[in-house]
Structure 1
Amino acid sequence: MEREKEDLQSKHEIEKKQMKMTMDVERQAHDQERKRRETVMQREREDWERQKQEARQRKEEEEKWRKKEQAMWDEYNETLKQEMERMNMKMAEEKQKHDKEREKMNLRREQ
C-alpha cells in the first residue's frame, strides 16, 4: 500500500514536472513568436517612416526645382520684355527721325 502511494506520488511528480516543462516550452515559444512579430512590426514601421521621409524629400526637391525653373522663366520673360521695350523705343526714334527727314524734304520742295 505504501509502495503504491509512493509510486503514485512519484508518477504525479513526474507528470507535474513534464507539465511544467511543457508550459515553459510553450511560454518560450509564445515569447519568441511575440518578439518575432514585434521585430517584423518594427521593421515595417521603420520602412514606412523611411518611405515617408523619402517622399517628403522628393516633394521638397521637386518644389525647389519648380521654384528655380519659375525664377529662370521669370528672368527670361523680364529680359525679353526689356528687349522688346528697347526695340520699340528704337523703332519709335527711327520713325521720328524718318518723319523729320520727310518733313524737311517736304519743306524744301515747297520752297
Structure 2
Amino acid sequence: MTEQDARTIGKALQQPGASAKRLPALPARGGIPSATATGMATQTASPASGGEIDSPLTEQSRTYYPQQYITTSDGLFVIGYMPVQSVTMKDASKRVVVFNYSKPEA
C-alpha cells in the first residue's frame, strides 16, 4: 500500500465534517390524557326461536365443485383438485348447519 492510498483511507475513516446535516430534533410529546366513557348496549334480545349454533359441530357431508386444474409457476406440473362447495354439519342440539363456499376463480 502506498502512502497516498493510506492517506485516502485515513480521510475516508475520519468523522464527517461540518457539511453533514443532522435531522432536526423533534419536540417532546406527551402521553394521551385519560378519559372515561360509558357505552350503551343497542343489541336486542335474541328471539325465542334461537339463531345460535351450539358447539361442537359434527360434519355430516360435503359437496364439491367440478375438478379444476392449475399449473405450477415453472410449468412442469399440472395439479387437479376439487374445491369444496358446501359442508353440512350438525350442532350439539342436532340442528343442521350448512357452510356454502363461493366458487374459486380459475
- TM superposition score category, shorter chain reference: under 0.3
Higher-helix-fraction structure? 1
- Considering only CA atoms, is the larger Rg found in Structure 1 or Structure 2? 1
- Report the TM-score, using the length of structure 2 for normalisation: 0.22
Q: Normalized per residue, which structure has more strand?
A: 2
Superposition TM-score, scaled by structure 1 size: 0.22
Per chain length, whose mean CA-contact separation is higher, i.e. which structure has more relative contact order (CA < 8 Å, sep 6+)? 2
